[in-house]
Amino acid sequence: MERRIYEAVVEGNIISLLNLLQEDALILDRITPELAGVFDSRKSSPLHLATSKGYLDIVKILVSVNPEMCFVCDRDGKNPVHIAAIKGHVSVIKEFVKGRPNAARMLTERGETILHAFVRFDQLEAMEFLVEAINDHEFMNSEDDDGNTLLHICI
């Protein structure tokens, strides 16, 4: 059963997840906290994977069960919010900012903010949302480990 839930999360298959819930209505109560803390070979959690695919409903479930996973970094030093920024999944970013706004302020292993990721990966719609949501001049002018601000990497 655990494997089937993991596969449903990775695939973003809500129908499979609902079918599993019909088989055992309490399965998420028993297994999701455990599943939410499992990592693959890249140190990615199910939350990283669901975020990468933009599976908002699954992200909501995983965050509600284990909100601290928003702060856990993968092998590349990125938390799930960084992954959402790179992929430009605005609805997922909104969920993180609503539920765990400090996760959006975490730095990558290179000292980059989520804003740096928006610029590097040309995710301007997502960046516009976050800038309005956070509205913090100091955060907007953050430098990475090389001293680069957003303006430096735009050039």
Residue 154 covered by a domain: no
Residue 66 covered by a domain: yes
Q: 18-39: per-residue pLDDT in tens?
A: 888 888 877 767 766 666 677 8
In which domain, by residue range, is 51 found?
2-110
Residue 116 covered by a domain: no
Q: For the chain, what is the domain count?
A: 1
Residue 73 covered by a domain: yes
Residue 122 covered by a domain: no
| pLDDT band at 86; cut points 50, 70, 90 | very high
Residue 33 covered by a domain: yes
Model pTM score: 0.77
Q: 101-124: per-residue pLDDT in tens?
A: 899 999 998 899 999 999 999 999
Q: 121-143: per-residue pLDDT in tens?
A: 999 999 999 999 888 999 999 99
For residue 58, give the CATH number of its domain.
1.25.40.20
Residue 26 covered by a domain: yes
Q: State the alpha helices, DSSP H only, in the chain.
A: 2-11, 14-23, 27-36, 46-53, 56-65, 80-87, 90-99, 114-120, 124-134, 137-140, 150-154
Q: Is the dihedral of CA 66, 47, 148, 146 positive or negative?
A: positive
